[in-house]
C-alpha cells in the first residue's frame, strides 16, 4: 500500500496512516486503502485491529488539495467521493472484530471520525480533536451520523455547530476517549490492552459486535444516505468554495448573506 503501513503479529493487525509529511491527511487513495485493509481484517487471522498514525499527527482530516479539487469535479465525481467516505466510516464502524485507535497526535474532522469510530480510543495528552467543517463552509455530514449515536443529540449539536477544538481530557469526559496515555507509552499500553482482548472468546466478541451493529443498521443506512445527499448539496454552495479559499489564503471568510 502507498499510504498505509500494516503489521500482523499474533492476531493483532496494526494499521498506520503513513503520510506524516501531510499530517496523515486523507486522500481518496488512503480512504480506498483503509477500506481494503479493514475488509481484509475480517479474515480469521486477525483478532484485533489497532489504528494509529505516523509522525506527530494521527490524522488532520481531508487533504486540502483534495478539498480544492472538489471545485472541478462533476456532480457524479462528488457523489462518488461522498459515498467513498461513507463506506470508509461504515466499514470501520461495522468491523466484526475489536478496533482500537492509538491517537498519537491531533485528530481533526475526518480524523476525529476515524479515532472515535473505533471501539476503544486511547490518546496522548496533547491530542486535539474537533469537527471543524463548519469553519470552512463544509458540513460534518457523515461523522454526524455516528456522533449522534455516540453522544446524544445535545452534545453532538454542540461539537458539530461550533466546530470547536477540544483536547484529550475533554474528549475523555465526553466518552469519546477511553484512556489518556503518555506519548512514550501509547503503543505499549494499546498492545497490552489488545492482549487482554485476545483472552476473550473471539466468537463471542464477534457476535457481540454483530448484535450491536444490527440494532441500528437500518436507521444507520438511512442516515448515511441522507448525509451523502447533504454533503453533495453543500459542495455546490458558494460558502464551501469561499471557506476553503479563505482558509488557504489565511483570511477570514466572507460568507454569503
80-113 per-position pLDDT tens digit: 999 999 999 999 999 999 999 999 999 999 999 9
Compute the residue count for the chain.
Answer: 257
User: In the structure, what pLDDT confidence band is assigned to residue 185 with cuts at 50, 70 and 90?
Assistant: very high
Residue 32 banded pLDDT, cuts 50, 70, 90: very high
Q: How many CA atoms lie within 13 A of 26 on its CB side?
A: 25
Query: Is 133 part of the annotated catalytic residue set?
Result: yes
Mean pLDDT of the region 137-157: 95
Per-residue pLDDT, 221: 93
pLDDT computed for residue 257 by the predictor? 76
The structural domains of the chain, with segments of one domain joined by +, span 4-184
Whether the per-residue pLDDT at 177 is higher than 90: the answer is: yes
CB atoms within 10 A of CB 189: 14
Quick one: pLDDT at residue 22?
97
Going 92 to 98 to 102 to 106, the CA torsion angle's sign is positive
Percent with pLDDT over 90 in the chain: 95
Q: What angle do CA 246, 227, 69 make, to 5 degrees?
A: 40
Q: What is the pLDDT of residues 35-76, one digit of tens each?
A: 999 999 998 899 999 999 999 999 999 999 998 899 999 999
CATH class of 4-184: alpha beta
Give the active site residue among 33, 77, 133, 219: 133
Amino acid at each position: 500500500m502507498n499510504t498505509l503501513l500494516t503489521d500482523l503479529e499474533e492476531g493483532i493487525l496494526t494499521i498506520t496512516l503513513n503520510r506524516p509529511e501531510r499530517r496523515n491527511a486523507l486522500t481518496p487513495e488512503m480512504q480506498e486503502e483503509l477500506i481494503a485493509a479493514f475488509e481484509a481484517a475480517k479474515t480469521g487471522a486477525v483478532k484485533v485491529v489497532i489504528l494509529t498514525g505516523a509522525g506527530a499527527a494521527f490524522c488532520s482530516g481531508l487533504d486540502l488539495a483534495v478539498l480544492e479539487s472538489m471545485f472541478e469535479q462533476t456532480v457524479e465525481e462528488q457523489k462518488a467521493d461522498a459515498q467513498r467516505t461513507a463506506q470508509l466510516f461504515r466499514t470501520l464502524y461495522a468491523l466484526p472484530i475489536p478496533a482500537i485507535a492509538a491517537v498519537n497526535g491531533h485528530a481533526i474532522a475526518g480524523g476525529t471520525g476515524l479515532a472515535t469510530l473505533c471501539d476503544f480510543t486511547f490518546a496522548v495528552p496533547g491530542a486535539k480533536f474537533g469537527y471543524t467543517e463548519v469553519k470552512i463552509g463544509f458540513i460534518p455530514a457523515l461523522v454526524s451520523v455516528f456522533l449522534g449515536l455516540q453522544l446524544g443529540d445535545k452534545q453532538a449539536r454542540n461539537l458539530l455547530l461550533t466546530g470547536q477544538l477540544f483536547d484529550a481530557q475533554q474528549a475523555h469526559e465526553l466518552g469519546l476517549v477511553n484512556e489518556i496515555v503518555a506519548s512514550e507509552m501509547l503503543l505499549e499500553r494499546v498492545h497490552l490492552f489488545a492482549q487482554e482482548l485476545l483472552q476473550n472468546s473471539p466468537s463471542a466478541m464477534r457476535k457481540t459486535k454483530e448484535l450491536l451493529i444490527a440494532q441500528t443498521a437500518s436507521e444507520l443506512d438511512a442516515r448515511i444516505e441522507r448525509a451523502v445527499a447533504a454533503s453533495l448539496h453543500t459542495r455546490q454552495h458558494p460558502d464551501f468554495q469561499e471557506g476553503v479559499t479563505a482558509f488557504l489564503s489565511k483570511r477570514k471568510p466572507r460568507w454569503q448573506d
